[in-house]
Amino acid sequence: MWWLYALLSAFFAALTALFAKMGVKGIDSDLATAIRTIVILFIAWGIVVYKGIGRETASLTRENWIFLILSGCATGLSWIFYFRALQLGKVSQVAPVDKLSVAIAIVLSVIFLHEAINWKTAVGAALIIGGTFVLIL
């Protein structure tokens, strides 16, 4: 079932690129990122409240907090650079290059999480990297 959520994520990421490109027209990309972040904040906490899982924050470990904070910082920086890239470039160029993150995530998962990869994953990552260079050049 994970793949259904991954496909939904990809679909909404594609919509994100389109809507963001239209939204950054004529404004500072950092302001656009801040507005987007507020919307996400309300949606995410709305889901937490709806599900009634807010009390679970008390059970988070120090390690949970550290890595979730680091993840939030990485997400914020990614969004800032993504919105700036969208402001300067075409969606058809920026969005695919942004997906180089897939190949980078695979490499980092092997290095830091010691995940094993098979030949299909390695070939897929190599194709993503190759495609990214085709788009850039």
In sequence order, the 6+-apart residues with CB closer than 8 A to the CB of 106 are 117, 121, 125
Asked whether residue 112 falls in the same domain as residue 60, the answer is no
Q: Report the pLDDT value the prediction gives residue 100, as an integer from 0 to 100.
A: 92
Q: Are residues 30 and 47 in the same domain?
A: yes
* pTM: predicted TM-score of the whole model, two decimal places: 0.83
Neighbours of 61 (CB within 10 A): 8
Residue labelled with tokens 């993840």:
71
Task: Check whether residue 108 and residue 57 sit in a common domain.
Answer: no
Confidence of residue 136 (pLDDT cuts 50, 70, 90): confident
Residue-range definition of the domain harbouring residue 116: 99-137
Same domain, 84 and 119: no
What confidence score (pLDDT) does residue 40 get?
95
Residues 16 and 79 in one domain: yes
pLDDT at 27 over 90: yes
What local confidence, expressed as pLDDT, does residue 10 receive? 87
Domain count, the chain: 2
